[in-house]
Structure 1
């Protein structure tokens, strides 16, 4: 694609554009000044030449005669007149040559000096632009450091009350509102979850005691359905609590051996895998120790492996591979379109009816992604070669 000057200029960094503008402005101003000086020099030289007086060597006592433009020779002039006329013509040509040479030299060296000075002005403009944009650079670096986990940080720009200072204050005010909104959301989720766990526990106890055996045959199924519903509601609340905790970030930072953690998680989920007819394979070629919260990291691996077991088919398999600095969990199962994978990392989002099991709430992968982000890791997914998903967890 052919780039126009406007498009090329728009791709230049702001600092380069500012320096180029300063250099171009200096160059245009210098050209205008140089043209003005040349015109005045030409005009002034013409005026001075017209006022020159010429003295002849053989007429010392005679008064000086004013220089006049060359006129055509007359046939009745004497030889002295013709000599004087030739001398005047020679002086006129000499003065004109000196004038032209002086103007050419002045224009040449002035142009060279103007280009050199314009280049120096461009370099000086680049330096001044960097000095002027230094607060913007510090604001950009601070904004990159600020995330959901450290919204308490502020730019706190110092200096005079100018446009940059007001911009920084506006950004800090926006961060204040964002921090309050996030804290309010987290407190609501945590408080609501805690408040709901108590009545659910009381409800489960009432069901177990009030509907204890022996029961009429028609009430046994009702009791089991109520207990199942109660258990699912409690699991949902626990998942919401875990999501709220993962959003706050790690509470404790220590070195965690993910290979050992994966072995513990697989042992814990082995009954579920056996019930679903799924085989789990663990491969850890190299030790993988990361800094983070051991409880959150255990939940992270558990959610990934549990998701791979739950959305699988009888006779399928789950592969857990640790290869520093990545953890890859691959499973068989229903085909997952690539364009629908981002939806699986959203809370309460499921792919379709095949992935809508009664034991799931659509929070497993969102919680895993939130914990990964809190540990500065990335969690991505892609369709598996034999169906299912290939989830890749990459630590920094």
Structure 2
């Protein structure tokens, strides 16, 4: 049964939930209605019985005991039957029973044959049949009565005053039958209405589903129709189109990357292949010595590209393999500056403060290397590197006076497979992976990396890393 419910669609589940809710509401409202009607019938009849009893006693009472004695005494030379006929009330049954429960007089006379099931009371005691009708949904008896023990001509008797409620009870039964008969029809009507409304509401969803089903890798530029309504369906369609936008952008980026990576790998492979052919045809071996630097350079370039791809693959799979230890960030930056400085043609300005972090030094070294290499490719004449602390964070900034990055591209530049420059020259363009790898490394350290412009309008990359909690 649970497996069947799991296979139910939204339409069936909604209809079943609505039907169940209606059943609960109808049952509770029906029980409440019947109970209120029953209690109203019993209460009204009881009030009438009490009033009639007081009127009957007021006519019968001849003598009453002391103030602290509630016993009522009746003295009369008339026959008890004549006495009750004289004090009887229309629409009310009055019975006088002896200590054995036998009716000795009644009004009207035919009421003597009716068994009210009233208990025998000692003088001064009272009883109300209303207490027998307090159970939930219990149908009242044909009579609601009040009784009291009195003394008539020196003999203890029980005076019972009853009000018939059989007509009201019949009406209550009719209402109960009506609720039981009409309730299922209302549930069925409500379920059918909910089924129709849900189907009508889900029609745009089915249309969106059909449209999305036809969209594949060959037609990612297609979009689903957004209905003019400003409801959840319109939001779903807009969200679906936004997802398709992201998929299309990702597909285009991956296609660009495949082309870029193919070019990056093809160029060194072609160079290596040609160089090896030339060296192989030289029996003297002199060519090997002349071309070996080129072979080493191209193989290193290929190895770096493969290493970058493996780093991103590990980040996607199980996260970067971090070897955290106490790291002097100023030494990391200084080592990378010393390594790259001889190859730079631009002026390099450095401002470094001592900073110690709990980090993976080798991976932060890769971040600094990527940022400095990026600055070296784009700077015109100046590169500025700053390392300082601020607000419990270490802040590394790399500034260059080359072309700035447009605001709409400042987040895109850190995406994988993205190269904002269209150049495919190996000496001026990278593989588009360095900044993406840097962002993964910085995020793994709980930090952030961003690009903007400084106050002089120069391109600025900012890396923020958290300091240890015990740092002063």
User: TM-score normalised by the shorter chain: which range applies?
Assistant: 0.3 to 0.5
Bigger Rg over Cα: 2
* Structure number with higher helix proportion: 1
TM-score relative to the length of structure 1: 0.48
